[in-house]
Amino acid sequence: PSEPAAAVVDWGDAATWPSGADIVLGSDLVYAREAVPQLLALLPALLPEGGGGAFYYVAPETDRLGEVEFLDGLVGLGWYRTEEAAPPRFMDNVLDGVADEDFRNLFPELATRTYTLYTFTRHPPPTQSAPSLAAAVPLPGFAIAAAAAVRQPDHD
């Protein structure tokens, strides 16, 4: 297996988009409808059709403009979507040197909002229940809700 790698991408500049990712993590990406077309172009480029990769997305239930269009837009492009409640550990403090109380003061919404973990794939979900990201990967707390990373395959 390849080593995880993070990439900084400019949603509007395809020259910054890596390709052939196995996994893309995203959180709380949509704040306005204007972001939706860029995201709907970016994700298929990161996880090309025919690949076995997945896009994991954590978002609060906020009714932000564009959120529904983004989620439904991926399905409209042929992606398969599953949803589950984000596990409580996704809200844990992962900030080094920051006390739990200070973390809760920095991110009070973690205690008051409902978060959903969406999984998008290019292939239908298996008929048997496969492990979700929440169950399969021991991601520490807020890391999934605070960062987006791209895992790329080896290029040997």
pLDDT tens digits, residue range 58-71? 999 887 899 999 99
- Quote the Cα angle for 142-147-149, to 5°: 130
What's the pLDDT tens digit per position in 94-127?
Answer: 899 999 999 999 999 999 999 999 999 988 876 6
Question: Cα-flanking dihedrals φ and ψ of residue 82, to 5°?
Answer: -125, 155
Say how far apart CA 156 and CA 140 lie, in whole Å.
Answer: 30
Full strand arrangement of the beta sheet holding 23-27? 80-85, 115-121, 54-60, 23-27, 150-151
Mean pLDDT of 127-141: 53
Nearest to 78 by CA among 43, 123, 116: 123
Query: Hey, is 150 helix, strand or coil?
Result: strand
